[in-house]
Amino acid sequence: MRKIVKWFIKIFLCHIFYRVRYIGADKLKLLDKCLICPNHSNTVEPAWIYAKSEKISIMAKAELFEKKFWNKIFTYFNVFPIHRGEHDIRSLIHAINLFKNVDKRKLLVFPEGERLKKEQDRIPAKVGPIYIAVKADVPIVPVYITKNAKLFSKVYIVYGDPIDVPKDIIKDKEGLQKFVDKMMDNIYELKNTIK
């Protein structure tokens, strides 16, 4: 079932409805475990990342799980909920535990926590992904995705070099926010590598 869905995504969401071009995606193959952290402005973005990743789990807003049908579908595809706007410790612990006792795991997390509106340039990012990376002892792969992509347009997905997070950063609240802000700078600067 997962192979069929991935094939469907690659054909329809990556080639027909959008023309997705991946840059640097091979960097993921060099990492057994990592967080994938992109900017976020389109509901289809998780599918684009999913199409190019193996052994991937996805963190998504809890509202998507309210209907039993979608709850079962998302759970089957290793998507799990996080309650936005609150300290959802349970989801953070679940995210960390995903990396335990497995050889390979990728976790897709959108640091901005919500989709950018068309008029927004950027919004403050959350520190949760940094906390997960430290506790799970995995690097973060920054990813830039073309903002506000329209149907039938070309979309670029650019993978940056892995970022190792210093272990002691989570003890420094101010330093933690600076680190995540710098990470977001890194993500948006990847746009400049598109030719």
Is residue 165 within 8 A of residue 180, CB to CB? The reply is no
Q: What is the 8-class DSSP label of residue 144?
A: E
CA atoms within 13 A on the CB side of 137: 2
Instruction: Give residue 178's pLDDT.
Output: 93
**Residues above pLDDT 70, as percent of the chain:** 100
Check whether 95 has a pLDDT greater than 90: yes
> Quick one: average pLDDT of 32-48?
97
Instruction: Give residue 91's pLDDT.
Output: 93
**Residues above pLDDT 90, as percent of the chain:** 86
- Under the banding of pLDDT at 50, 70 and 90, the label for residue 84 is confident
Number of H helices, E strands in the chain: 6, 7
CATH number for the segment(s) 2-193: 3.40.1130.10
d(CA 128, CA 161): 20
> Quick one: average pLDDT of 99-121?
93
DSSP line for 52-98: T-SSEEEEEEGGGGSSHHHHHHHHHTTEEEE-TTS--HHHHHHHHHT
CA atoms within 13 A on the CB side of 118: 3
> Quick one: average pLDDT of 165-185?
92
Q: Where are the domains of the chain?
A: 2-193
Instruction: Give residue 87's pLDDT.
Output: 76
- Under the banding of pLDDT at 50, 70 and 90, the label for residue 195 is confident
pTM for the whole structure: 0.94
